[in-house]
């Protein structure tokens, strides 16, 4: 275990087993349709990379990067698009892939934004869900794990851009935040 971690809450084996299950479920649900997966940078990169290798479907991959307008306006749910898609969404079967749904503000903005581009269908796949923190009503179509209200790192999730490369998910020691 990484020395900055207090505890591992999801092991590499647990994550890999669940990602494979999600891949099989998504493969069944979409049958032979062509799927456009959209990863939300940067946290979803690791999950997306593993997930698509369990999809037995024709799959395209694209990315969006967003940032929230900061703490003061966080409750407004206004997010800024830093990188838009290269692919066209209109008429496509779109799967939004996110690392974690917390307040739901980021994803609800993205869902509205993408719906306005008229996809054939739009679903949400998240690795982690923290439903206790929700500020807007949004429910993922696919969810890896529901977790309690704790700040977690690893498998794509960061604290100050660190720990994304860890193959497991855990909780940081309190002293790490005081550095």
User: Residues in the site for ligand IMP, rule: CB under 6 A?
Assistant: 43, 98-107, 151-153, 157
d(CA 22, CA 25): 5
| Structure-token match 């037995």, residue found | 56
Nearest to ligand IMP of 104, 119 (CB atom): 104
The residue written with tokens 């923190």 in the block is 133
Residue 36 interaction partner, one of ligand IMP, Mg ion, none, beta carbon < 5-8 Å per kind: none
| Cβ proximity to ligand IMP, 160 vs 175, nearer residue | 160
Q: Kindly name the residue from 62, 102, 129, 141 that is annotated as catalytic.
A: 102
- CB of 20 vs Mg ion, minimal distance in Å: 22
Could you give the CA distance from residue 135 to residue 128 in angstroms, rounded to a whole number?
16
Residue (of 40, 52, 155) closest to 97 by Cα position:
40
79-102: buried (b, 16+ CB within 10 Å) or exposed (e) per residue? Answer: beeeeeeeeebeebbbbbbbbbbb
Least distance CB 87 / ligand IMP (angstroms):
21
**Is residue 43 at the binding interface for Mg ion, with CB under 5 A as the rule?**
yes
State the binding partner of 89 from ligand IMP, Mg ion, none, CB within 5 to 8 A by kind. Answer: none
Q: Is 102 a catalytic residue?
A: yes
Query: With respect to ligand IMP, which residue has the nearer C-beta, 107 or 122?
Result: 107
Nearest to 174 by CA among 146, 147, 150: 150
Annotated catalytic residues are 102
Contacts with Mg ion, residue ranges (CB under 5 A): 43
């Amino acid at each position: 275990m990484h020395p900055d971690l207090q505890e591992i809450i999801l092991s590499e084996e647990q994550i890999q087993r669940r990602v494979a299950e999600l891949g099989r479920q998504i493969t069944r649900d979409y049958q032979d349709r062509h799927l456009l997966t959209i990863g939300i940078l940067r946290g979803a990169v690791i999950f997306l990379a593993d997930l698509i290798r369990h999809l037995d479907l024709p799959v395209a991959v694209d990315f969006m990067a967003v940032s929230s307008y900061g703490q003061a306006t966080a409750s407004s749910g206004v997010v800024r698009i830093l990188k838009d898609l290269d692919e066209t969404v209109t008429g496509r079967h779109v799967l939004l892939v996110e690392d974690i749904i917390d307040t739901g503000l980021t994803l609800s903005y993205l869902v509205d934004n993408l719906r306005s581009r008229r996809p054939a269908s739009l679903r949400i796949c998240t690795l982690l869900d923290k439903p206790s923190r929700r500020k807007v009503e949004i429910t993922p179509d696919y969810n890896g794990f529901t977790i309690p209200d704790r700040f977690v790192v690893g498998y794509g999730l960061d604290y100050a851009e660190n720990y994304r490369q860890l193959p497991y998910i855990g909780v940081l020691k309190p002293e790490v935040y005081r550095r």
